[in-house]
A and B are shown apart, each in its own frame.
Chain A
Amino acid sequence: WGSAPATSLLSLAVTSEQIEHLHRRFKQLSQDQLTIRKENFDSIPDLEFNPIRGKIVHAFFDKRNLRQESDGLADEINFEDFLTIMSYFRPIEMNMDEEQLDRFRKEKLKFLFHMYDSDHDGKITLQEYRNVVEELLSGNPHLEKESARSIADGAMMEAASICVGQMGPDQVYEGITFEDFLKMWQGIDIETKMHVRFLNVDTIAHCY
C-alpha cells in the first residue's frame, strides 16, 4: 500500500504502527477496495447505537474537513482522506507550544462546527440547531416533536445571549458563526478530551 505520500502523513505525527492499524481497518471497511463510500459504514454494527450516526458519517465526506478547496460532499474517500479525518482526533503532544495548541484546538472545534452547519454557509441557524437536537433526541417514542423544538429554541436563545448580549425586540439572530462557537466552548479543554488513544501495542500488526 506504499503509495500514500509520506510528507502529508508525517504531519499527522502518528507512528507507523498506528498507520498500519488504521490501514487494516480501512481495508476491512472498504472490503479491500481503494476507496470508501457512505454505504461501507453500514457494516459497523456498533455505530447504529449512535443517534448522530448520519452526521458522523457525513463528516467523513465533507470536503471542508478533508481540507479540499471546493465545497460540498465527496462521493468516496481514499486512505489519505481517512487519515485526515482521523487526525482531528489525535491526542495532544507534550512538546506543543501555545500557538500550536491553539491551532490544534481550533481545528477540532471546526470539525464539530461543521457537524452542526449542514448547509455549509458558515453559520449555525436555528433550523440546523433544531435538526441536531431532534436527531440526538430521536428514537424516543414518547418525546413529541414540540418538546424537542422548544428545547432547541431555548438553547439557541441562550447561545444568542452569550454571543450577542442583550438583543432588542426587533433584532434577529442570524446564526452562530464560528467565532461565536469558539466563545461558547471557552473553558472546555476540548483538545484534551477530543481524542482517541491507541493502546500501547509494542509490536507491529500483520503484513499481508
Chain B
Amino acid sequence: MFLLLPFDSLVVNLLGISITVLFTLLLVFIIVPAIFGVSFGIRKVYMKTLLRIFQWATLRIERGAKEKNHPLYKPYVNGIIAKEPTSLEEEIKEIRRSGSGKALDTPEFELSDIFYFCRKGIETIMDDEVTKRFSAEELESWNLLSRTNYNFQYISLRLTVLWGLGVLVRYCFLLPLRIALAFTGISLLVTGTTVVGYLPNGRCKDFLSKHVHLMCYRICVRALTAIITYHDRENRPRNGGICVANHTSPIDVIILASDGYYAMVGQIHGGLMGVIQRAMVKACPHVWFERSEVKDRHLVARRLTEHVQDKSKLPILIFPEGTCINNTSVMMFKKGSFEIGATVYPVAIKYDPQFGDAFWNSSKYGMVTYLLRMMTSWAIVCSVWYLPPMTRQPEEDAVQFANRVKSAIARQGGLVDLLWDGGLKREKVKDAFKEEQQKLYSKMIVGSHEDRSRS
C-alpha cells in the first residue's frame, strides 16, 4: 500500500543513493582529513569565490543607490563626536590663564574649574566608548546575509535572486551538512574519551587522548566551516603554562583546541555540555568547577596552581575577559589567572566579519540561536597569532602584568586596548574607578593648598 504509484520506489531508491553518496563524500573529504590533520584546501577556494561574489553584490548596491540619487547608508565605526584630546590639567590651566590670569600652582579653586567635568560629562552622555563595543561590529560591504544589510531598497532583481540562492544554499545544503558533522564530532568526542578513559594511565593513554581530542575538534571546526590561519606556531603553549586569549564567542575554544592540546577550565554545566565535560575529564585532567566553587577565588586559584605546577599536565586555556566582546577591542583582563605565577602564553584571535559575525551577544541571543546563526553563515574566517611567552616581572603586580599581556594581544590582533571591564556589559562600575579622576583633580588643588598653608 505504501508503494501505490509506480515511481514511488524510484523516488525512494534515488533518495537512498543520494544520501549514501553524500555520506561517502562527507567521509572522504571532511572526516578523514580531520582525523589526520590534513586539508584539501576546499575551504580556501570557497572563501575566494565568496569574496568575489560579495564584491559584485556591493558594487550593485552602490550603483543602485547612485541611480536613485540617494546617499548610501554606511554605518560609522568611530563614534559620532570628536572628543577633545586635552587632559584635565591642560584644560584647567588654559581656562584659568584666560580668565583671572592665575596659574595652576596658586592653590585656589576657581569657578571655572567645573567646566572641564561638565563638558566631559556631556560628551559621554552623547556618545560613550563602552556601550559601542558590545553590539556587533558594523560592516562596509554586504555579505549577502540579510542580517547585516541596511540598504534593502537598493537591491535589484539580479541581486535578490542571488540572495535567494544564497539562502537556499545556506539553509538547505550547508546547514544540514554542518549539523551532521557537528553531531558526528560531538558523539565521537564523548565515546572516544570515555573509551580512552578505561585504559590504564600511561603514555598510550595520553597519546590516544590527545589524538581523540584533536580529531574531534577538527571535525567541529569543519562543521562550522571555519577557515583559520595560524601564525607563529613555534610559540604554542607548553606544559605547565597558561594560555590566555581574547574572547569573542564560545567557538574560540574549538579554534584553539583544534591546533593544540589544552586542559580546559570552566564551570560544570548541565545538559549536553555537562555530558561532554564529564566524558572529557575521563581521558585527561581538565579543571572543572562546581557552580558553588566558582565564587571561591582562593579555591580556584589553588586548584589552578596545583595543576600548573605539575609539569606533566597540559597547559590551561583561560579567557580572562570573562565575557564575549565584539572583537574590535580587548577589555580588562581579570587578574586571577595572572596571580598564579606560571608562564603566560598570550594568543590573539581576530575574526573577519565579512563571512559571518562570530560575536555572541549573550543578552540578545541564547546559545542555540547563536549556534544556528553560526551554522547558517557562510564561513567563519579568523586569524590566530601565538605570541611569545611572558612572565611576571618582580616589580609588577598581577594587575600590571595582566595589562601588559592585554596590550600585547590588542596590538597583535589590531584591536583597541580598552581599560574597561568586560563585566560592565551586565554590572555597574566598581567604585575604585570613580576615584581616579577625582583624586587627580583634588591632588592638583589640595597639594598646593597644603604647600601654601605650610609656608
Rounded to whole angstroms, the CA-CA distance of A207 and B125 in the bound complex is 21
Binds B, one of A61-69, A166-174, A186-194: A186-194
Query: Chain B nearest CB: distance from A191 CB in Å?
Result: 12
Does A160 belong to the interface (CB within 8 Å)? no
Binds B, one of A71-79, A99-107, A149-157: A149-157
Does B78 belong to the interface (CB within 8 Å)? yes
Q: Is the CB of A112 within 8 A of B114?
A: yes
Rounded to whole angstroms, the CA-CA distance of A205 and B79 in the bound complex is 11
Does B108 belong to the interface (CB within 8 Å)? yes
Q: Is the CB of B436 within 8 A of A45?
A: no
Query: Chain B nearest CB: distance from A114 CB in Å?
Result: 11
Q: Is the CB of A49 within 8 A of B433?
A: yes
Does A196 belong to the interface (CB within 8 Å)? yes
Rounded to whole angstroms, the CA-CA distance of A157 and B432 in the bound complex is 34
Residues on A with C-beta less than 8 A from B436 are 49
Does A52 belong to the interface (CB within 8 Å)? yes
Does B95 belong to the interface (CB within 8 Å)? yes
Q: Is the CB of B438 within 8 A of A112?
A: no
Q: Is the CB of A50 within 8 A of B121?
A: yes
Residues on B with C-beta less than 8 A from A47 are 121, 124-125, 128
Contact of A112 among B108, B115, B126, B429 (CB under 8 A): B115
Residues on A with C-beta less than 8 A from B128 are 44-47
Interface string of B441-455 (1 = CB under 8 A from A): 111011001100000
Q: Is the CB of B80 within 8 A of A133?
A: no
Find the residue from A86, A89, A152 having the highest chain B CB count within 10 A: A89
Interface string of A181-207 (1 = CB under 8 A from B): 100111111100110111101011111
Rounded to whole angstroms, the CA-CA distance of A150 and B450 in the bound complex is 11
Q: Is the CB of A190 within 8 A of B119?
A: no
Nearest residue (CB) in A for B425 is: A45
Q: Is the CB of B82 within 8 A of A185?
A: no
Query: Chain A nearest CB: distance from B361 CB in Å?
Result: 14
Given A197-B82, A204-B71, A155:B434 Cβ within 8 A:
no
- Interface residues in B69-88 by Cβ distance below 8 A to A read 71-76, 78-82
Query: Chain B nearest CB: distance from A161 CB in Å?
Result: 11
- Interface residues in B364-400 by Cβ distance below 8 A to A read none
Can you list 30 contacts pairing A with B, beta carbon distance less than 8 Å?
Answer: A21-B80, A25-B127, A41-B125, A42-B428, A44-B128, A45-B420, A46-B129, A49-B433, A49-B434, A49-B436, A49-B437, A50-B124, A51-B437, A52-B121, A56-B121, A56-B122, A56-B125, A89-B119, A89-B122, A112-B118, A115-B114, A116-B111, A137-B441, A137-B445, A155-B108, A155-B111, A187-B99, A188-B112, A196-B122, A206-B150
Tell me the B residues contacting A by CB distance below 8 Å: 71-76, 78-82, 95, 98-100, 107-115, 117-131, 150, 420, 424, 428-429, 433-439, 441-443, 445-446, 449-450
Given contacts A147-B449, A206-B75, 16 further A-B contacts (CB under 8 A): A22-B126, A41-B125, A44-B124, A47-B124, A49-B124, A56-B121, A115-B114, A140-B446, A141-B435, A187-B98, A196-B123, A197-B81, A197-B82, A199-B78, A204-B73, A205-B73
